[in-house]
Structure 1
Amino acid sequence: MGEEIHGRTMGLVGLGEIGRRVARIAQGFGLDVLAYDPHLSNQQILAHGATPVTLPELLRRSDFVSLHCPLDASTRHLMGAHEFAAMKPGAVFLSTARGGIHDEAALYEALQKGHLSGAGLDVWACEPPAQNAPLMSLPNVVATFHTAGVTHGGRRNVARSSAAQIAAILRGERPPHLLNPEAWEVVCERVRLSR
């Protein structure tokens, strides 16, 4: 039998486009949603229906910890042995973000020793992972290979969204899903010069 999730706590690390959608879904199932995102103000996090917390508080309080942050120098191995040990005993770890944000060896240890009750992984440091990857041997790991969201409709939506973003840039409009806003002025100048 499964476990009831209503009334439990979901901790989101990263509250971008996908993190915000996960927050709405979690709320629909009656979960309390905590979020840690150093790029957003507390007011922005609250506006997206989550309670702003520090990463240590999120780990301590969450029954489910789900990663939705980019992989960069500040997030590489953000989740290591110390962080997994800081998670609530019996919690579940989820990552659909990027491989390398969590330390796979440290996660294996936390799961094998029973501190965490399970993990759902769609991303790996090396994709696809080797068939003999230690995490793949555990019965409490559900694994996909960066394909969990791959559907025909999803691919069409990505293509449509990408085309809309490019068209907006060519019209001199700021695209709605700009990932690197610091580069926007440089792009505007290039578009102006190319006309």
Structure 2
Amino acid sequence: MSKLQKRVVRSDLWIAPAFDERLASERDIALGIFPVRGNSAAAWDMLSAAHVYHISAAKDELPQEFFARAELLARCPDLLCVSAGGAGYDTVDVDACTKAGVLVVNQAGGNAISVAEHTLAMVLGVSRRMIEGDRRMRSEIGYSREDVMGHEICGKTIGLVGIGHIGSRVAGLARAFGLEVIATDPFLSHEEITRRGAQPVSFDELLARSDFVSLHCPRDASTMKLMNADTFGRMKKGSIFITTARGGIHDEAALVQALRSGHLAGAGVDVWDQEPPPLDHPLLGMDTVFATYHVAGVTHESRGNVAAISAQQIVDLLAGQRPPRLINPEALPAYEKRRAQILG
């Protein structure tokens, strides 16, 4: 890649073609694609010269040597921005980037429709016992339909922990199904939560009132193990837990116990501590659990949209604009000085 060009680097993990196509249309941007396995030297040759590193957000797919941590930053002196390829940024040490004057951006909202639809599918699937019915149809003859009788969701209450891009869309879909929507979000005023389609409540009230508790919050120090033995115990007996957020926000062992005890009626789990979870994971052996492999945001439409907005944000950033999905605005002063030195 020419030294005169702005250099964007990504790994060879799958990404929708829209990303490469958009960057290819910019004459002053060169894209490098490094192999995540088999040729570490070639990978570091590209990374060490990068201005933007578009990083996979899949923590169990990207080798840890390519996580955006202090060690990587030290080897990439011209790096100006780490662009996470999704709403999450589990593979990025934001504090280390901020200290280095490196911006971190994500693609929040790019897959909101897909994740919201998946959330409602889980609400319906668990409440109506669809997974149980499907499994029994494939293995049994002679059982009664009433043996897998579920519940309507109309008239029930769904509690959203977080009402950002995804939570807002879940609220809209939930109201269409006749659900009462309540929400808690420490980053939003009560007026804004109301504007987004939910009744604002405290976290404690949400746990006590909800027939469905659905997580739509980021994974950070304040939310790790937010759902644990205590908080699962404070959920309404017979309620259902749904998460399409991030692994680690719920305690998997505590969820197993809440289900085994009968306190919770079921769960829809798309995100895991280890992805995919081992085949002998106790949650996978429960008929009351609708289990998926971090695919809520993985549709043709959402992957194409995330790739397109990722590329456009990078193009605009390299043209000198402030990125709209900036995670660490406190890094801007140091970034501006470094950008002037590196790009002129």
User: Do the two structures share a fold, i.e. TM-score over 0.5?
Assistant: yes
Q: 2:221 aligns with which of 59, 70, 73?
A: 73
Match of 1:163 among 298, 305, 311: 311
| Distance in 1 of aligned mates of 2:281 and 2:331 | 39
In the aligned structure 1, how far is the partner of 2:162 from the partner of 2:332?
22
Distance 1:115 1:151, change over 3 A: same
Mean CA deviation greater in 174-183 or 49-58: 174-183
Query: Separation in 2 of the partners of 1:166 and 1:73?
Result: 28
Cα displacement (A) at 1:29: 1.3
Gaps of 5+ in 2: 1-148
**Aligned partners of 2:173 and 2:281: how far apart in 1?**
31
Q: Secondary structure at the match of 1:172?
A: coil
> Over residues 45-99 of structure 1, what are the superposed CA-to-partner deviations in whole Å (9 max), with x where a residue is unaligned?
1111111111111000111101111111111100000100100111110011110
Look up the match of 1:35.
Answer: 183
Shift of 1:151: 1.8
Residue 107 of structure 1: how far off its partner (Å):
0.4
The farther-off stretch of 111-120 and 151-160 is 151-160
Q: Does 1:3 align with 2:140?
A: no
- Structure 1 runs (4+) deviating above 6 angstroms are none
The one-letter amino acid paired with 1:94 is I
CA–CA distance in structure 1, aligned partners of residues 212 and 331 of structure 2? 35
Q: Distance in 2 between matches of 1:26 and 1:190?
A: 46
Are 1:119 and 2:267 an aligned pair?
Answer: yes
1:22, distance to aligned residue in structure 2 (A): 1.1
Q: Quick check: 11-20 or 77-86, which moved more?
A: 11-20
Asked if 1:18 corresponds to 2:166, the answer is yes
| Deviation, structure 1 residue 167 | 2.4
Report how far residue 185 of structure 1 moved. Answer: 4.8
- Which shows bigger deviation, 116-125 or 38-47? 38-47
After superposition, residues 1-195 of structure 1 pair within 5 angstroms as 1-193=149-341, 194-195=343-344
Give the TM-score, by structure 2 length: 0.54
Q: CA deviation at 1:30?
A: 1.6
Task: Kindly state the Cα deviation for residue 130 of structure 1 after the two structures are TM-superposed.
Answer: 0.5
Structure with the greater alpha carbon radius of gyration? 2
- Give yes or no for contact 1:172–1:188 (8 Å, CA) kept in 2: no
CA distance, structure 2, for counterparts of residue 31 and residue 156 of structure 1 = 31
> Is the Cα–Cα contact under 8 Å of residues 42 and 52 in structure 1 kept in the other structure?
yes
Equivalent residue for 2:120? none
Cα gap change, 1:18 to 1:184, in 2 (>3 Å): farther
Q: CA RMSD in A?
A: 1.7
TM superposition shift of 1:184: 4.5
Q: Which amino acid aligns with 1:9?
A: T
Deviations 1:100-148 (A, max 9, x none): 0000010001111111111000100111111001111111001011123
1:186, distance to aligned residue in structure 2 (A)? 4.5
Q: Counterpart amino acid of 2:237?
A: P
Following superposition, the deviation at residue 191 of structure 1 comes to 4.0
Separation (CA, whole Å) in 2 of partners of 1:184 and 1:114: 50
* Paired amino acid for 1:44: E
Identity %: 57
Give the unaligned 5+ runs of structure 1. Answer: none
Q: Distance in 2 between matches of 1:20 and 1:65?
A: 15
